[in-house]
Chains A and B, each alone.
Chain A
Amino acid sequence: MMRALNFSKRNFKELIRDPLSTIFALILPLFLLFIFQTIKIPSEQFNIENFTPGIIVFGSSFLTLFTSMLVSKDRASSLLIRLGVSPMKTTDYIFGYVLSFIPVIIIQNILFFILACFFGLQFSYSMILTVLTSIIIGMLYIVIGLLLGSCFNDKTAPPLSSIIIQLVCFTSGMYFPKEMVGDIFAKICGYLPFESCVTIIKGIMNNTIEIISLKNIVVFVVYTIVILVLSIIVFKKKMISDNN
């Protein structure tokens, strides 16, 4: 565990020293929250109570991009050769990558809530619970990034991660209700994990836990666990094949 923590410390430093990460992880979601609240779109979707959870999940989706960039870049550099001969185990790498993004999730949430409160969101203790839930929800996006970064090189993994970000926008229900696009689209959204993420965050944040269905939890948990296991297997395999 100490090795994983040490590795996560390095990953976090690499991340915060990349100005693009700050722009995408913090400034862009904050800007969207600001714009959509300023122009006051007459739709329930954009009420601060409904839109903030979407922004939280949208912010988390950038973790996929950062993780895939970090993992694919590490794989391309000789640093992983050095680490490959060290006593670090696959679990140390995986936990190291995952843990490094937790401070990012916390910082994101705090800033999102400060701005949301400015636009009329009532401060409540459920916000603390939401931050904790966001960390769990963030795991899904981190493991997707791990999988993409392990499967693809540093040229391919970032554009593929952008597709995930787009999927979050279009299938999570943050901008429009899924039913608007049709029954088939709505069904597909139901089987993707992004809408479930927004619903879970919305339920916790607004103290309306009853909106969270068992299906939401099952879809989220299954996707997270399956992708985590896959990423561990692929990362381990790639660690060997990259050095051949």
Chain B
Amino acid sequence: MWPKTVIIGLCASVGLIWIIESRATDVFLEATRPDFQKIPVGVVGIADAGGPDSPEGRIKLGARIEEVLKADLRRSLVFSLVDVAGLGVKASTLGTEPHPLFKQAAEQGASVIVWGKAGMKSEDKDADVNMEAYVYDAGSDEMVGGKRYVGSPSVARLMAHRFADELVFRYTGEPGIARTKIAYVAEQGVARELFVMDYDGYEPRQVTADGFLNLMPRWSPDRRFLVFTAYRHRNTQTIDMIELATGKRWTLVSLGGLNITPTLSPDGNFLAFASSYEGNSELYRMDTRTKAVQRLTVNAAGDLSPTWSPSGRELAFVSDRSGGPQIFLMSGDGTNVRRLTFEGDYNAAPAWSPRGNWIAYVCRTPRKEYKLCLITPDGQKRVQLTTGPGVDDSPSWSPDGRHLVFNSTVEGKSHIYMINADGKDLERITHIGTHNSAPAWSPAS
């Protein structure tokens, strides 16, 4: 018995009409906080404290950092941004103490006020960047505190990200997502290589340069490594691991046939993956310390794409044992297998939310479009998250469970998009390149 379908039309910034369909809107909103619980924050400004203009487009450092900070606070979904220009206070006139007028901030609808300044230590273009910012709580009429950062010009964005995460941590006790990263696959001529970028799409860095295919990266829980499928000499697949800081590489699995969809358990002790070396694609798990490999599935159909529950006790995976691909669940040791999805004839690429309450996956709609769906692990609630043209693939959750990244051909070329778990705020985060895919969101630090 489904409640009447509710259709909400939203205009995405890309100019598309993005329609969110929900069959259980009341339950659906559990995935994130409803808007009314957000903390209204007013950013007075990050004043420019001197130094040369930025290389890109003569935008002052303070304005650039302010823009990054505001975007981070908006994406946190913990805060909502409130315009406090009406207070008539300029950031450039402020020091470390709150302005007396901040007591009236509540009248502007802001319960938290942020201000600061940023600049370079000298006119030298490689000189250190300074940023300081402060927080006043209008609700309690209390100075909360501040931060003073110093670093090379290349870390200016990171300073804003750090400060945003400090604010999220101060008000929620959670580490925030502004310093998280996204690993992905980018086409490079005839090759597809691994890259890592900031969660907002900036600072992309190339990780592999094999000149052939590297696919479907996943993070280690400590964020130091990526595991992925590599094609050695083009003819065979292996599951490799690379250390981001050094580029050092290990081959973890080279069993022959397919060696795909590796994923480390939340504690890092097991690597689950699919291999076809015994005939058809089956699931295995490797103990990362002893390297003992244990087979988890036994049947004539294809089993692939394992994803761990946050406790590490269960796996969701794809199997076509009942015809088309469907999502199944089992215990981490391969026992207690049961089918989770029954709607539609193609459900694949599951990703278990870090909060445990949803599994995101790719669902084929009655119109034969490949879109994102969410289902609860008990199978009781299911919602379709995206609609429209194009193929959506590879959903991956933010560590706070409030967002997903995925790749989509909705605008033609495959690019990476971010969307809230309630289907709002669709945002494209890659803008260059011929084909970007398989995003994997890092754990928080």
Q: Are A and B a genuine interacting pair, yes or no?
A: no
Q: Which residues of B contact A (CB under 8 A)?
A: none
Q: Which residues of A contact B (CB under 8 A)?
A: none
